[in-house]
Structures are given as structure tokens and as C-alpha cells.
């Protein structure tokens, strides 16, 4: 009786064990997943997606996600080439293109990419001045992306994009930039005013040359000026004295002198 009970329990145990092994043998991988298979500890092949077979005990599988991952780079303290301290953070978009390398060539590809992004961000931005960080972000993004993509290629990682999100400045630096912008606006205003004066003087010289070329032109201009003065409701009219008349009177006085 005991033997029969033991035999029944043993049979049930073996049946459950075999059923569990069969269930664990079949794995389902989604379209964006791949399985890196190891046979007795050695790399065998990459399987998936869909239904795959993994022999229990003999084979082991590591799942790898092939979708684009978004990684936020923590805020980094950067000293620019012109010795300005800023705090910069960024975001990196990358994905696994070679599951075998991503598992066999690096312990944790996500952490490795994160640390490499931080050091590369500080290194690249430290080679540029503050004005370049603020006005040439697109160029800096491309430079960082190319460096990261080249270095992570041996890990089977493709860095598709890098975006600098924020460049934080100290309050003193913000005020200094504001003063610089104000001084720049004042300089531009003075340059524009001087350019206008130069153009006006050139046009006046051309007009004077035209008026001097014709004897009646100056007289017509004189009459037009009197007409404009009379139309302004002014009680005072100034009659300009021709220089030729002034010179003639001066000569006449010298002749009439003692």
C-alpha cells in the first residue's frame, strides 16, 4: 500500500517536472526583442522574434530590447574655454543594433553609455566658449553624437541623436550677459547713426554740387525756402545774405577808409 502511494506521488512529481521543463523550453519573444543564447556558457546564436526553443539547463537566454532608449544625462558642471562655469544637462537617444556585442562586449551597456555620455558632454563643451554653447547647440549636438556613436559601436550600440536641454548660468553671469547685450545695442545704435550721417553728408555734397553747377538753381532753391517759411505761420523771416555781396561790401569799405 505504501509502495503504491509512493509510486503514485513519484509519478506525479516526474510528470510535473517534465511538464515544467517542456514549458520552459518554449519562449516567446516580441518583435522588438531578441534572445542571446548561450550553450553551456558559450555564445551560441541570437534568436527571435516569435516562438523559440531553449533547452533547459543546457542553454540560457538573455533578452535584449532593440527599441530606441531615451536616457537623461544628469546635470554636469562644465568650465568653458573662456573660463565660465555652467551647468549643462542633455538627453541621448540610442538603441541596440548588435545584441551579441551588447551582451558579450560590455557588462551593462545602458550604464556604460550613460557614463560615456557624461564624460563626452563635459569634454566637448569644455572646448567651446559660452557664446558658442548658447548659439550653436545644433553643431555641438552633432559633435557629441558622432563621438558617442563611434565609441559605442564596439558595444553594438547606435547613438542616433543627442540634444542639449539646458545651459544654466549663475546670476552674476546672467547680469554680465545682460550688460554686454545692452552695450552691443548701444554700439549698433551709434554705428547706425554715424552711417546715416555719412550717407546724409554724401547726398548733401552731391546736391550742393548740382546747385552750384547752375546759377539759377540756387535762386530757385532760395525762393522755395522762403515759400516754406511763409507757410509755417512764422512771424520772423530770415533773409540770407549772399557771400559774394558780403565780400563786395568788405572791399568797398576798405576803399572808402582813410
Q: When comparing pLDDT for 61 and 16, which is higher?
A: 61
Assign 229 a pLDDT band (cuts: 50, 70, 90). low
Q: Enumerate residues 6+ apart whose C-beta is below 8 A from 212.
A: 218
Assign 223 a pLDDT band (cuts: 50, 70, 90). low
User: What pLDDT does 60 receive?
Assistant: 92
CA atoms within 13 A on the CB side of 229: 12
Q: Enumerate residues 6+ apart whose C-beta is below 8 A from 161.
A: 92, 93, 141, 145
Q: When comparing pLDDT for 3 and 134, which is higher?
A: 134
> How is residue 7 written as a grid cell?
509510486
- For 176-201, b/e burial (b = at least 16 CB within 10 A) is eeeeeeeeeeeeeeeeeeeeeeeeee
Element (H, E) at 26: strand 26-29
Terminal-to-terminal C-alpha distance of the chain: 168
Mean local confidence (pLDDT), 196-217: 78
Smallest Cα–Cα separation from 225: which of 211, 214, 205, 213?
211
Q: Enumerate residues 6+ apart whose C-beta is below 8 A from 33.
A: 48, 49, 63, 64, 65, 66
User: What pLDDT does 2 receive?
Assistant: 60
Mean local confidence (pLDDT), 15-35: 85
Amino acid at each position: 500500500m505504501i509502495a503504491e502511494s509512493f509510486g503514485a506521488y513519484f509519478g506525479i512529481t516526474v510528470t510535473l517536472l517534465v511538464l515544467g521543463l517542456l514549458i520552459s523550453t518554449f519562449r516567446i519573444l516580441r518583435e522588438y526583442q531578441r534572445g542571446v543564447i548561450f550553450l553551456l556558457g558559450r555564445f551560441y546564436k541570437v534568436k527571435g522574434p516569435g516562438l523559440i526553443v531553449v533547452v533547459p539547463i543546457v542553454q540560457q537566454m538573455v533578452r535584449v530590447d532593440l527599441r530606441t532608449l531615451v536616457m537623461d544625462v544628469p546635470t554636469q558642471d562644465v568650465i568653458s574655454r573662456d573660463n565660465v562655469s555652467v551647468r549643462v544637462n542633455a538627453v541621448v537617444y540610442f538603441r541596440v543594433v548588435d545584441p551579441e556585442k551588447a551582451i558579450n562586449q560590455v557588462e551593462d551597456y545602458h550604464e556604460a553609455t550613460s557614463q560615456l555620455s557624461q564624460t563626452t558632454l563635459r569634454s566637448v563643451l569644455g572646448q567651446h566658449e559660452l557664446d558658442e554653447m548658447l548659439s550653436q547647440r545644433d553643431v555641438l549636438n552633432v559633435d557629441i553624437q558622432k563621438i558617442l556613436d563611434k565609441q559605442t559601436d564596439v558595444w553594438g550600440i547606435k547613438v542616433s541623436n543627442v540634444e542639449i536641454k539646458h545651459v544654466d548660468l549663475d546670476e552674476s553671469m546672467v547680469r554680465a550677459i545682460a550688460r554686454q547685450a545692452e552695450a552691443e545695442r548701444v554700439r549698433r545704435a551709434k554705428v547706425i547713426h554715424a552711417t546715416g550721417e555719412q550717407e546724409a553728408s554724401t547726398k548733401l555734397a552731391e546736391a550742393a554740387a548740382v546747385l552750384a553747377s547752375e546759377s539759377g538753381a540756387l535762386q530757385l532753391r532760395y525762393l522755395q525756402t522762403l515759400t516754406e517759411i511763409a507757410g509755417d505761420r512764422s512771424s520772423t523771416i530770415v533773409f540770407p545774405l549772399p557771400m559774394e555781396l558780403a565780400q563786395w561790401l568788405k572791399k568797398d569799405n576798405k576803399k572808402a577808409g582813410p
